[in-house]
Structure 1
Amino acid sequence: MPRGGGSSLAGQTVGEALVIDFTPHLDAVVELNAEERWVRVQPGLVLDRLDRYLRARAPHLMVGPDPASGKRATLGGMLGNNATGTHSILYGNMVRHVAAAQALLDDGTPVRLEPLPPDAWAERTRRAGREGQLYRDLDALLTAHRDVIERDTPRHWRRNSGYRLEYLLGDERNVAQLLCGSEGTLAVVTELTVRLVDRPRRTALGVVHFHTRREALRAVPTILGTDPSAVEFFDGRSIRQARRSPGFGHRLTFVEGEPGGVLITEYYGATEAELTGRLDELEDTLARAGEGYAVVRVTDPAAIANVWGVRTEALGLIMNVRGDHKPVAFIEDASVPPEHLADYIDALA
């Protein structure tokens, strides 16, 4: 079983198999092509290390998926669990960003997985050995079950369950995409090529305040209608816990009153004027919908970093509550269509 940083939330790298830890050795950048906007890396490379590398050599580019565990998550692990992150509404999952992979099949056969037009795919099916068998089996499976895959694949994109066979239905097929979300069950990746996206020139936050959690969750579709780059919920309990913490209380300058929750809403822009316009649109949209009681604007880069820092560290604050009763996470990474989010959380609570 291949293992990256071990930062996945549900223990996916714990099992009865022989665990192969890629982080001590296979952790290098192999090649960067800034002009064509891709980077080839070994699977044990940590995302934050790659980001520092790109900032030094191609500062206008970055990896799209940005999981909160970026200080520990490896690129191979991000491929294995089809990672996404705070900016998923812009960049989606890893499956949209993997261009190719070098991998070892179950018998040790090395293969290169890359986009193949129909004639190249047909050539792979004629190869001898395990690689040819792989393509023949996939060909037969896709032919026999195309209707089921097209009909029954869930339309909600943010999901990691099952193999992403729908990505192999087009004229050009890339088996590297099938590895996304496979949790190391199909092959052991030794290199992967990742497409890069533009790094935003400027960002701004609108921290939208609500009296209750339900009000905040019901407003999510309204806010998504303004095309933000990210929307993150910060609940009232975590805010109250942060205020009681000596190390965090002074950092909550972006919180007004005693909200039941806030939605941290981020926008990208090329100029300050553009960002001001985006925040104006947010406030106007919320006012028309009668949602939220305050919007705190955060435009200074250091202040923006502080907001995200407090939000990222919120789980640790909740775990440090006094007494013997501690919160226990029992649902990991649930994915719900935004219009049903409030009802879903109410039903759980």
Structure 2
Amino acid sequence: MRVIPALEPSGRTDHLYQQFLEVLENQGFKGELRQDYGTRLVTSTDNSIYQVMPQAVIFPKDTDDLKLVLELSSEDRFQKISLTPRGGGTGTNGQSLTEGVIVDCSRHMNQILELNLDQGWVRVQPGVVLDQLNDFLMTHGVFFAPNVSPSSRATLGGMINTDACGKGSRIYGRTSNHILELNCVLSNGESMCSVLINQDSVEEYKLMTGIQGEIYRTVDEVVRSRKKLIHDTFPRLSRFMTGYNLAGVLNADESTFNLNALLSGSEGTLAFVSEARLRLTRIPRERLLLVVHYGSFDDALRDASRLVESDPAAIETLDEKILTLAKKDEIYPRVQKWVEDPEGRPTRTINLIEFSGDEITELEKKIHPICEEILKKRDTPGEAHGFFITDKAREILELWNLRKKGVGLLGNLPGER
């Protein structure tokens, strides 16, 4: 098996970056400034196939540190300094990798700051991990709905920067659908608070002096003057992660203006998030998980359109490659009886279909027609040949953990990288 080749220790950080770090320290930066080879090597990879060695890694202590970093980088002498925010390093496209400076908020800026259950929101710093937040919220009967597979490592700042979504996105949408307010630091070190505003407020914001007024004037001009081009260009998809979401700035009747739609998914290129106020969702009382067995991936994919009609909270497919790799993983003995056909029919792909709500009887009404159809057609070529149903929290968790392992299992395949 060939792995990513080792990077050669590059010795000292380049002079310009060294000078930048020295000035930061002298100006009262409170966090950590790291340029040792070990720290740089660890942050030269993420969950992608790429490896890029940074010049240094910065761990800001608070918002003042972030402001200091960006204000200093805006000076003429440091115009060539490149800054890239990093969360949990779970991105699969190399978004957090850079040959410049990594700014990692996960070490110190990782606090849950405020919870308002009456109004249904929570305020967090960007380094808070998704599982950390939802574990805290669970006792209150609410959760942050966008879900990603690496939830034990993914930070809220990273999810905002990539507009992340995953299991349950067909009902709950993307991260941007749950953002109420973003506190950001702009490229010149200024702070900015962004919330949904009406058109009268937009006109007031456009009169502001400095970079913030310029932002509102520019964005408003672009989304209005190029409205047709934006409408014709942007796909009508519930899940996508490419480009700035200009289509989401104005609502349908153009009565509201939401800069957060643009900031979310911008991968830190427009501003660095220092705090976020996020909408919370009540945890459903009941959950049912249906595991459907198929003889091929094509059969499972073809069946998905029928399954979606039953309005599940989530539907995910695990193909033969992942199931085969899972057999060598420690999790497989715990899920084997649910993903293999008890009558010995070859199961090469499964669909996981979850239903959630407050009444179990309503969920059963959705699931029973699917099961009856499977039983009726199970011996027909190209149709599903079996299923498993559970409402037990432990079993549901184990099956979704199998799904979460998918990227890691594929990433460990032998061969060139």
TM more than 0.5 = yes
TM-score of the superposed pair, with normalisation by structure 1? 0.87
Identity %: 30
Over 3 Å counting, the alpha-carbon distance change for 1:245 and 1:77 in structure 2 is closer
| 1:98 aligned partner | 179
Note if contact 1:201-1:269 (Cα within 8 Å) is conserved in structure 2. Answer: yes
Aligned residue for 1:262? 350
State which of 16, 22, 46 in structure 1 corresponds to 2:105.
22
Residue 118 of structure 2: aligned partner:
35
Who is 1:209 aligned against?
Answer: 293
Q: Judge conservation of contact 1:99–1:114 (CA < 8 Å) in 2.
A: yes
**How far, CA to CA, are the matches of 2:281 and 2:351 in structure 1?**
25
Residues 326, 248 of structure 1: alpha-carbon distance in 2 compared, 3 angstrom cutoff = farther
Quote the RMSD (CA, aligned, Å): 2.0
Q: Is the 8 A contact 1:100 1:174 kept in 2?
A: no
Taking a change above 3 Å as real, the CA distance of residues 133 and 237 of structure 1, as seen in their structure-2 partners, is closer
Match of 2:391 among 299, 306, 312: 299
Q: Secondary structure at the match of 1:205?
A: strand
Are residues 36 and 312 of structure 1, via their aligned partners in 2, closer, same or farther at CA, if it must alter by over 3 Å? Answer: same
Q: Larger relative contact order (C-alpha < 8 A, sep ≥ 6)? A: 1
Distance of 1:304 and 1:263 partners within structure 2: 13
Does residue 272 in structure 1 map to residue 360 in structure 2? yes
Q: Determine whether 1:200 maps to 2:247.
A: no
> Which digits, 9 at most, give the CA deviation of each residue in 1:25-83, with x for residues without a partner?
11111211111111111111111111111113x22x11111001111111111000000
Cα deviation, 1:265-298, whole Å, max 9, x if unaligned, reads 1111323333322220222455678731111112
- AA matched with 1:194: L
Counterpart amino acid of residue 219 in structure 2: L
Q: Secondary structure at the match of 1:36?
A: coil
Write the letter of the residue equivalent to 1:223: L
Match of 1:2 in 2: 85
2:218 to 116, 134, 137: 137
Note the C-alpha offset of 1:249: 2.9
1:301-340 equivalences in 2 (<5 Å):
301-318=393-410, 325-326=414-415
Say whether the 8 Å CA contact 2:331–2:402 is kept in structure 1: no
The 5-angstrom pairing of residues 79-90 of structure 1 reads 79-90=160-171
User: CA separation in 2, counterparts of 1:53 and 1:192?
Assistant: 16
3-state SS of paired residue (1:219): helix
How far 1:101 sits from its partner (Å)?
0.5
Distance 1:143 1:269 in 2: 40
- When structure 1 is superposed on structure 2, of 43-52 and 254-263 the one drifting more is 254-263
Secondary structure at 1:7 match in 2: coil
* Amino acid corresponding to residue 312 of structure 1 in structure 2: K
Q: Give the CA deviation at 1:117.
A: 0.8
1:150 aligns with 2:234: no
1:173 to 257, 273, 284: 257
How many Å separate the matches in 1 of 2:248 and 2:258? Answer: 8
Three-state SS of the structure 2 residue aligned to 1:283 is helix
In structure 2, how many angstroms separate the alpha carbons of the residues matched to 1:240 and 1:267? 27
1:227 to 311, 322, 327: 311
Task: Mark the runs of 5 or more structure 2 residues left unpaired by the alignment.
Answer: 1-83
Deviations 1:118-148 (A, max 9, x none): 1111111001111111111112212321121
Structure 1 contact 318–327 (Cα < 8 Å) conserved: no
Quick one: which amino acid aligns to residue 267 of structure 2? E
Deviation at 1:92, TM superposition (A): 1.3
> How far 1:247 moved relative to its partner?
5.4
C-alpha displacement at 1:208, in angstroms?
A: 0.6
Distance 1:81 1:283, change over 3 A: same
SS class of match (1:217): helix
Report the AA paired with residue 121 of structure 1. Answer: V
The alignment's TM-score, normalised by the length of structure 2, stands at: 0.73
